[in-house]
Amino acid sequence: MILAMLVDLILPNSNLKQYVKLVVGLLLILIILQPILSIFKVDVHQMVDQLIRTNTDPTVEANIENQMNKQKSEIEQIQAAYILDEMVVQMENLVEEELQETYGYQIVNVEANWINSAATDSKELERVDVQLIPSDDQENKVEKVYIQIGETDPPTSKIPKDEADIKLFLGERWDIEEDIIHIAWKEE
C-alpha cells in the first residue's frame, strides 16, 4: 500500500496516472485475495496468463471486428433511412404552399420509392406517390354554373387536366421526371 501511495505521489497529473492507479489497485486486490484464492487452490498466474492469451487470440479479435462492422452497417442503414425520410418531408414542404395557391390542392401524403444501386451506393428515385385532397378554401368557393338548353357536350372531368399540370409542376419543383410521379386523389 505504501508503494501505491508513492507511485501516486511521484507521477504527474495525466491520463497515464489514472491507468497506473488502476493497475496498482488491481495488484493490491490480488494481494489481499491471495489467501482466499490459495484455500480454493486457484492459480493466479495461470488465470492472468489465460486472460492475456484470450485478449491476443485472433479469433476473438475477428469476432469483435465482425460485430463492430455489423453494428456500423446497421447504424448506416438507419441513418440512410432517416435521411431519405427527411428528403421526402422537404420535398413536401417545398411545394405545399404554391400547390395550394395555384391549384387548390393540399398534399396529404408523399411516399418515395428508391432504387438502390449497389455499385455506386447511391439512391435514385424510382417512383413518387402523392396523395392530394382539395384544400379547405377551395371547397367553400361556389363555381359558376352554366345552363345550356339543348344539346350539350358531355361533362368533362377536371382532374385529368389538373393532374397533368400538377405532375409538370411537381416535376419542375423537385427536379425529377414527371413519369415517376403518380397522383392519387383522396375524397373527403
pLDDT of residue 78: 92
CB neighbours (10 Å) of residue 104? 16
Across 68-94, average pLDDT: 90
Give the orientation angle of helix 158-174 with respect to helix 58-103, to 10 degrees: 130
Question: CA-CA distance, 132 to 110, in Å (whole number)?
Answer: 9
Confidence bin at 28 (pLDDT 50/70/90): confident
pTM (predicted TM-score): 0.49
Report CA 2 to chain centroid distance, whole Å. Answer: 54
User: Measuring CA to CA, which residue among 134, 95, 94, 87 is closest to residue 111?
Assistant: 87
Confidence bin at 119 (pLDDT 50/70/90): very low
CA distances from 34 to 30, 38, 42, 126 (A): 6, 6, 9, 69
Q: Map out the domains of the chain with their CATH numbers.
A: 73-151+158-185 (3.30.300)
